A and B are shown apart, each in its own frame.
Chain A
Amino acid sequence: MAEHEAESEALTSDELLVEEVSIDGMCGVY
């Protein structure tokens, strides 16, 4: 469901340009 780009994979010369997250309402839906 969620897809975190792990920080440890990011190198200074190969920075990840896309990050994703599953944002299920952020406590907004009940």
Chain B
Amino acid sequence: MTVAGSVTFDLDRAWRVDPRVSMRPEPFGALLYHFGTRRLSFLKNQTVLAVVRSLADHPSARAACLASGVPEAELPVYARALAALAESQMISERTLS
């Protein structure tokens, strides 16, 4: 688990991008804008964009990271990124059906 601010991020739970978020790929990564909070997030590489986009397709954030090519050793870095996105409500947990 990784902590960022007040949110504890659990890589082993299922996540998804909030439906009020608009994602715009950019050459460097992506911009995310949340229509509810009106905040803007900036993803700094293509891999973290791939992870975020695929969150809803995987049973866990860990699986999404690995499927996007994140090496095991770098999982904590990506967990911190996801924790920041969770804290700003860009992503939220989803229940597995």
**Chain A residues in contact with chain B, CB under 8 A?**
3, 5, 14-24
Contacts and interface: CB of A to CB of B under 8 A. Distances in A.
8 contacts: A3-B84, A17-B44, A17-B78, A18-B84, A19-B42, A20-B40, A22-B39, A24-B38
Contacts, number: 47
A19 B58 CA distance: 24
B17 interface: no
Sort chain B's interface into a size bin: 10 to 19
A18 B39 contact: no
Main SS class of interface, A: loop
A13 to B, nearest CB: 8
A16 B45 CA distance: 10
Given A18-B85, A22-B40, 19 more contacts: A5-B84, A14-B76, A14-B80, A16-B81, A16-B84, A17-B44, A17-B48, A17-B80, A17-B81, A18-B43, A18-B81, A19-B41, A19-B42, A19-B44, A20-B41, A20-B42, A21-B39, A23-B39, A24-B38
A19 B85 CA distance: 9
B8 to A, nearest CB: 17
Contact of B40 (A14, A15, A23): A23
